[in-house]
Structure 1
Amino acid sequence: MAKKVLVIDDDLDILELLIYNLSKENYEVKSAVNGLEGIKVAKSFMPDLILMDIMMPVMDGIEAGKIIKNTESLKHIYVIYLTARAEEYSEVAAFDAGADDYLTKPIKPRALVSRINAFFRKETQKNVVDGILEIAGLRINKENYSVTKEDGSIVILPKKEFEILYYLATVPNKVQSRDSLLQKIWGSDIFVVERTIDVHIRKVREKIGDKYIGTLKGVGYMFKTE
């Protein structure tokens, strides 16, 4: 259920570094060492985001980006270039090829991962209009604590149940620990045991269906979009 990231770079040390840091953040990661291989992997892996170098053998990142954005099954994938090329013409070429962002090396892995996290949060927030979040077939209305299901039926949730669901839905496919949910929903001034989260999650599942909220045993919960 994790977001998928494809890293394309001919520098094996950078590949290893990025795979390690992205995997720690629960992303599902695959890699390729040139643009041609990257396109082949993308077609089978279907990532949510491609992180790609420009200067690579066989096929460079610009050419690969053009092919990706002109391939019907791949054109929806976000492409971020990560390259040592800092010249303006390289950046222009990247955006002309359909880039969604352009970053220059050297990289700071933790900062890069934070930027990717922020990128996915921003894409989620685009689905929020006037307090209504539409995701995975649900219409979650923050104004009246209602959830419209795929069959058109409407469920009104108690405040805390709704807040848990809404928060998880704003960070889809990212596991949230019980402690972080307690802090986010109840705050640090109110004492609530972790078991309370489990009870509220169970009630939400009973009302909207089991398929939306997943459990990572011993860790916490996440909203699933797949």
Structure 2
Amino acid sequence: MGQPRILIVEDERGLTQTLSWYFTREGFEAVVVHDGAEGLRKAQALLPDVILLDVMLPGMSGLDVCRELRGGERTKDIPIIMLTARSEETDQVEGFARGADDYVTKPFSNKVLLQRVKAVLRRSEGPGEAADVVEHEGVKIDRVRHRVTVGDEPVDLTPTEFKLLLCMLRQPGRAFNRHQLMDAAIGEGSIVLERTIDVHVKTLRQKLTKAGGAAELIETVRGVGYRFREAVAP
């Protein structure tokens, strides 16, 4: 990747000045906007490599901006990190439910935020291995094209959902606990709630079912976590 472009959507002007200066120093092209509607327009026009998105914005909330971006064909795969002064569990879960890839509460360290940005960029880029296709029970993942299909029906997933599904699909029948799934899908050392994985699994089930897959493809393992269903005997 050349100079990555970061879009900062935040209404605290003192904070945006600091973030813009810091990320520019670290080799990013930083673009700043101060309200939700303009942030959505900029994201759709510029297609940045990553977005820092405040939850509480004038005009249009960050959660609504996130939802709109995830629903757009050109913007659905852009990594989004939510920023907020609120740290309650329901706020964090709602952010992930709307499609956010990570969630950082204020105040935060710029160095820590930089590492979180680099982590979501690595996940969105993927390993780039040729002909890396995984298929099981009618669900097919093409890592090179970053494409998921159920039969011939495409499934639109966020980068985090993609990683989560890939982790389970590569080892069907293996039970993963929530910490293992968080490491695989969100990144080692990320500070997130265990319930976050439950939210991602719920949306994955809904998307796979809508595309024609069985609702029970992702099974709950009581007291452990989740697994992708082994092949069903004919």
**Alignment: residue pair count:** 134
The verdict on how the C-alpha distance between 1:42 and 1:125 changes in structure 2, with shifts beyond 3 A counting, is: closer
Contact 1:9 1:15 in 2 (8 A): yes
Contact 2:55 2:62 in 1 (8 A): yes
User: SS of 2:55's equivalent?
Assistant: coil
Amino acid at match of 1:44: A
> How far apart in 2 are the matches of 1:66 and 1:8?
15
Q: Could you tell me which residue of structure 1 aligns to residue 14 of structure 2?
A: 13
Q: Percent identity?
A: 32
C-alpha deviations, 1:118-154, integer Å up to 9, x for none? 3323444533479xxx98xxxxxxxxxxxxxxxxxxx
Q: Could you tell me which residue of structure 1 aligns to residue 46 of structure 2?
A: 45
> How far apart in 1 are the matches of 2:74 and 2:126?
24
TM-score with structure 2 length normalisation? 0.53
User: SS of 1:29's equivalent?
Assistant: strand
C-alpha deviations, 1:42-78, integer Å up to 9, x for none? 1221101111110111011001111111111111111
Amino acid at match of 1:70: G
Q: Could you tell me which residue of structure 2 aligns to residue 61 of structure 1?
A: 62
* Map 1:1-150 → 2, pairs under 5 A: 1-128=2-129
Instruction: State the Cα distance separating 1:29 from its structure 2 match.
Output: 1.2
C-alpha deviations, 1:148-191, integer Å up to 9, x for none? xxxxxxxxxxxxxxxxxxxxxxxxxxxxxxxxxxxxxxxxxxxx
The verdict on how the C-alpha distance between 1:125 and 1:69 changes in structure 2, with shifts beyond 3 A counting, is: closer
Contact 2:51 2:81 in 1 (8 A): yes
> How far apart in 2 are the matches of 1:75 and 1:124?
14
Which of 1 and 2 has greater Rg?
1
> How far apart in 2 are the matches of 1:94 and 1:77?
15
Uncovered stretches (5+) of structure 1, i.e. residues with no partner: 136-226
Amino acid at match of 2:88: E
The verdict on how the C-alpha distance between 1:73 and 1:125 changes in structure 2, with shifts beyond 3 A counting, is: closer
> How far apart in 2 are the matches of 1:122 and 1:77?
11
Uncovered stretches (5+) of structure 2, i.e. residues with no partner: 132-142, 145-234
Displacement over 4 Å in runs of 4+: none
| RMSD, matched Cα | 2.3
User: SS of 1:93's equivalent?
Assistant: helix
User: SS of 1:77's equivalent?
Assistant: coil
Contact 1:21 1:110 in 2 (8 A): no
Contact 1:52 1:81 in 2 (8 A): yes
